[in-house]
Amino acid sequence: NMIATLAVNHVTSTGNSSHQGRVIIGQIHAASDEPVRVYYRLLDGHTKGSIYIAHEPSNGNSEQWYNMIGSRSNSASEPEDGIELDEKFSFEIDVVGNTLNVSIMRDGKDTITQTVNMENSGYDGYYVKDGETLEDYMYFKAGAYNQNNSGDTSDYVQVTFYALSKTH
């Protein structure tokens, strides 16, 4: 379980249009994949951003995408209930057994939760590397992971964390 309270302060505006305004703010990372990545995305011309998650199975199955607030689409309308830059909000990543829950919490608004059944995702505690079966390791990450590699050194992402807690 990890709970973070944060505000996204700045997102990119250059580079590939599918990566503009997009930043990973939290995730669970495994040896060679990510059971979950939490994205914030603010499209050009919008004042409110979207939140969506990706679930990457470790067994080679296709990545699964879930919209939580707004849409991850490059041409999405501005989400009516979106999150503005510098707006404080919280997210929680909670995994019990094969059930992954991601929740978005904001003052004065209902909590939004996405549940992912990971039963067939291949997370059995092991992974294979160079023909050898090894014990898998997973860890939580929170931060500002820029998804736009435009090469423009003046373009950046910025996130401020106000609280962060994790339990195993």
- Confidence class for position 151, pLDDT limits 50, 70, 90: confident
**Pairing status of strand 36-41 against strand 48-55:** antiparallel
pLDDT for 95-134, tens place per residue?
998 999 999 999 999 999 999 999 888 887 788 889 998 8
Q: Is the pLDDT confidence value at 150 over 80? A: no
- 147/23 Cα distance (integer angstroms): 6
**What pTM, to 2 d.p., does this model score?**
0.93
Q: Which residues of 60-92 are buried (b: 16+ CB within 10 A; e: fewer)?
A: eeeeeeeebbbbbeeeeeebeebbeeeeebbbb
Q: Do the beta carbons of residue 106 and residue 83 sit within 8 Å?
A: yes
Q: Is the pLDDT confidence value at 53 over 90? A: yes
